[in-house]
Amino acid sequence: MTDNFDTLLFDLDGTLTDSTEGIVRCLEYALERMGFDIPEDTNKFLGPPLYRSFAEFCGMNEEQVNEAVRIFRERYSTVGLFENRVYEGVPEMLKRLRDGGKRIMVATSKPEVYAVRIFDRFGLSQFFEIVGGANINGTRNDKDEVIEYVLGKAGISDRSSVLMIGDRRQDVIGAHKTGLKCMGILWGFGSIEELTEAGADFIAETPIKAADMLLQ
């Protein structure tokens, strides 16, 4: 990499942790309670904001979406958020980046209160200067809104020194909308086709490779 990025914004789901089990179980719990069919492809729910996913993938109206999110969180807030695991190599990557002088932050469409609890549970909080996420009421859940929120909290004006790192097209699109470059990573939920079609500026296959590239 020829660019020198001092500040790194990480996505959470599919980038730092594999949250598949918790999200899918809570999705099934909510849809069964509401009498909706469970889609064959539940992976499409991994990454995008929950409100949008219920509307787009299940054809719900606003009232149904709000009820689905309420039921989803009924289980997620107590059990589902910890049905989760840190990807192999991620703690080592974060330590190398921190020791290399990088400012490390999080920009996730997951509600911020859940992200903080997940990092506390899995011992990752020590690495992050700022953890930014959506509001619990469903506002500030688009990736560009979260990025703007984090940059504002960090007092960053020079965006050329900031890189977004994530596994889905929403990360790339959100980064570009806010004037940032984006590294797409391949150990998460997104494919290389999805990331390259979205216009990812860099691609990293593993956490070790990502750290190598960012510390060059």
pTM of the model: 0.91
The confidence band for 1, taking pLDDT boundaries of 50, 70 and 90, is: low
What are the structure tokens assigned to 56, written together? 């787009």
pLDDT on residue 71: 98
Catalytic residues: 11
**How far is residue 184 from each of residues 128, 163, 191, 195, 203, measured CA to CA in Å?**
20, 11, 9, 6, 5
- The model's pLDDT over 156-196, given as tens digits with 9 standing for 90+, comes to 999 999 999 999 999 999 999 999 999 999 999 999 999 99
pLDDT on residue 47: 76
- The model's pLDDT over 107-128, given as tens digits with 9 standing for 90+, comes to 999 999 999 999 999 999 999 9
- The model's pLDDT over 36-48, given as tens digits with 9 standing for 90+, comes to 999 988 988 987 8
Assess whether pLDDT exceeds 90 at residue 143: yes
- Specify the residue for token string 């011992």: 123
pLDDT on residue 117: 97
Listed in order, strand segments (DSSP E) in 135-177 are: 162-166
pLDDT on residue 2: 57
Full set of structural domains in the chain with CATH = 7-18+85-214 (3.40.50.1000), 20-82 (1.10.150.240)
How far apart, in whole angstroms, are the C-alpha atoms of residue 186 and residue 195?
A: 9
- The model's pLDDT over 26-83, given as tens digits with 9 standing for 90+, comes to 999 999 999 999 998 898 898 788 899 999 999 999 999 999 999 999 999 999 999 9
- Specify the residue for token string 């097209």: 169
